[in-house]
């Protein structure tokens, strides 16, 4: 039996839309609010993985500063915590003074601390997935003004 071309086209379109929808849904990042923590877990494998003793990373915004949040924190440098047997975790605490916006993990840096110290740098999109984190914060702060500013001389 030969199906008319319209139903075939509708079925193909349905598959294309469902594939597009699933891809779009997979890319939606969760929203984080003050009081929550962004936790990033990972482990190292391969040569020299067991020698890694300390790991640092930096979470930075990819969006502009929100008006009224110019003095809020927008740069997180953290040390990872090692959890048995071989995992590392970052805990980025979102506070009332964390600037709103989309952030990403800018880098991961791992160091060995033995007789042959090494530093390994890992880049998002190249060495680990480049994930984004949306921080929602409606708090703002008005910058205080300076008044009665005088300059004098010492006797």
Tokens matching residue 145: 């003004």
Q: Is residue 18 part of a domain?
A: no
Q: Answer yes or no: is 8 within a domain.
A: no
Q: Does residue 25 lie in a domain region?
A: no
- State how many domains the chain has: 1
10-residue stretch averages of pLDDT, the chain, 155 residues long: 46 38 52 96 92 94 94 94 90 96 96 88 97 95 93 85
- For residue 124, being part of any structural domain is answered with yes
pLDDT of residue 20: 39
Give the structural domain span for 70. 42-140
Task: Kindly state whether residue 90 falls inside one of the protein's structural domains.
Answer: yes
Q: Report pLDDT for 13.
A: 36
Query: Pairing between strand 101-112 and 52-61?
Result: antiparallel
Does some domain include residue 70? Answer: yes
Residue at 59 is within a domain: yes
Separation between Cα atoms, residue 54 and residue 137, nearest integer Å? 31
CA distance 75 to 48: 29
Q: The pTM is what?
A: 0.74
Is 6 inside a domain boundary? no
């Amino acid at each position: 039996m030969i199906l008319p071309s319209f139903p075939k086209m509708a079925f193909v379109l349905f598959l294309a839309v469902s594939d597009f929808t699933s891809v779009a849904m997979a890319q939606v990042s969760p929203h984080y609010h003050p009081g929550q923590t962004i936790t990033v877990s990972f482990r190292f494998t391969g040569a020299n993985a067991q020698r890694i003793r300390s790991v640092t990373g930096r979470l930075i915004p990819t969006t502009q500063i929100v008006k009224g949040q110019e003095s809020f924190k927008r740069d997180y440098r953290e040390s990872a915590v090692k959890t048995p047997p071989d995992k590392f975790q970052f805990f980025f605490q979102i506070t009332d003074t964390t600037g709103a916006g989309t952030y990403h993990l800018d880098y991961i840096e791992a160091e060995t601390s033995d007789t042959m110290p090494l530093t390994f740098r890992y880049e998002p999109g190249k060495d680990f997935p480049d994930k984004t984190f949306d921080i929602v914060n409606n708090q703002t702060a008005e910058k205080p003004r300076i008044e009665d500013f005088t300059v004098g001389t010492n006797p």
